[in-house]
A and B are shown apart, each in its own frame.
Chain A
């Protein structure tokens, strides 16, 4: 009789040291980029150009997703509140959910997918085609011209994109609500804004600044780290999305903990 063959499954080795090396390199990269923010020449033209690509070109996507987010959220929650006879609380509930959490996180994730990967792929391609080297030889610091402008643009514009997304989210919610009952604009706004306080808006806005910073930074870092092959460019874009998305959740968690420490809801 044949004995069943023993199959030995070896545990894959996880190289934790490379993770720490990567973290260290990211820290050094962050330091260098932050220095470029305050070091002339200030690349205003490039910053505006990046602002256009990062902000304006993302606006339609953010608006549509924000609108659908508000619409769906209202349609899902309304039946539950009907059971308790509390539909009048719906605008406030939706507003708090969107402003505090869903708006920033969903917008952050979309930006991580669209912007961070775009930056990583663009910078990676610039490295492969030696454009970064060409810039350096011509006496320009790529960290200032290419990286700092992109990171600054995302830091400034992601919070604005979140505000737009939240506005469209509330619009979606208003429309969804009016599909089943009549709710005037004034009633909706009063009900929504009565529930939102500064303690909701300020921490949520501050965390979106960090979202924006890390979306730009991680995209740039991964692009800059890409080795000189086309395969590496795709990989850099992929890793940038995953890392930036993960960072958004970590920052969100930290923001909630810090806010809870200072503000009692």
Chain B
């Protein structure tokens, strides 16, 4: 299987507080990995270190075989075109409507000749998340669930090879959370994306991931499918997933 992300011995501390103590991770093409762990265990820090939103203290990160910690701005921008990121709150740009939010990454990273081409990409992304009707709305007019779905549409609009989902179902009711989980699976099947999903939602972890890694004290302490981990001999591991 092709490896799209490889993380070796990643370390990050904030002052005296060591968050990541040497994390190793491999993500294969078309695979969804779930990362679970207590709040503050460093799950978001890990994904942000992988895309270099946070500079790690030590370690190596390879995306599509390229060492992203030792590359210049232009190369990093090129690599980031392959990456989509769904932030916890959607992170929609307040001053832009839904259409402009979705057009933003296209216009910034691709040379698109015709306006119709951009329009088609926006419509396709919104249809994928079932929110075409919200195209002219401002983020303030959308519910939390809608913002996450629009955030997801923006994350997939450039058809990235890798998508990071940071708590995709947090703060949502069970029905909407289920819809988001289904969307993640649909996107994986449709575009053959590889994803890292940070979640506390067991239903999402069960339905949307192929493998789960448990982050504890700055290290991965367990790995396996949802069923394997939920039937683990270790009570602590079982507690996370039941």
A interface residues, Cβ below 8 angstroms from B: 125-126, 129-131, 133-141
Contact = CB atoms under 8 A, between A and B. Distances in A.
Interface of B: 48, 51, 53, 73, 77, 80-81, 83, 85, 87-89, 91-94, 104-105, 108-109, 154
B87 A133 contact: yes
A150 to B, nearest CB: 12
A139 B87 contact: no
B195 to A, nearest CB: 14
Q: 10 nearest interchain CB pairs?
A: A134-B91, A138-B105, A130-B91, A139-B109, A130-B87, A139-B77, A137-B85, A140-B108, A139-B80, A133-B53
The listed residue with most B CB atoms (<10 A of its CB), out of A131, A140, A141, is: A131
B108 A131 contact: no
20 contacts: A126-B94, A131-B91, A131-B93, A133-B53, A134-B87, A134-B91, A134-B93, A135-B93, A136-B53, A137-B51, A137-B85, A138-B105, A138-B108, A138-B154, A139-B80, A139-B81, A139-B108, A139-B109, A140-B104, A141-B73
A136 to B, nearest CB: 6
A131 B53 CA distance: 12
Given A134-B93, A140-B104, 11 more contacts: A130-B87, A133-B87, A134-B85, A136-B53, A137-B51, A137-B85, A138-B104, A139-B77, A139-B80, A139-B105, A140-B105
Given A131-B93, A131-B94, A137 B88 contact: no
B87 A138 contact: no
Contacts of B89: 129-130
A137 B87 CA distance: 11
Contacts of B93: 131, 134-135
A134 B154 CA distance: 10
Contacts of A125: 94
A32 to B, nearest CB: 11
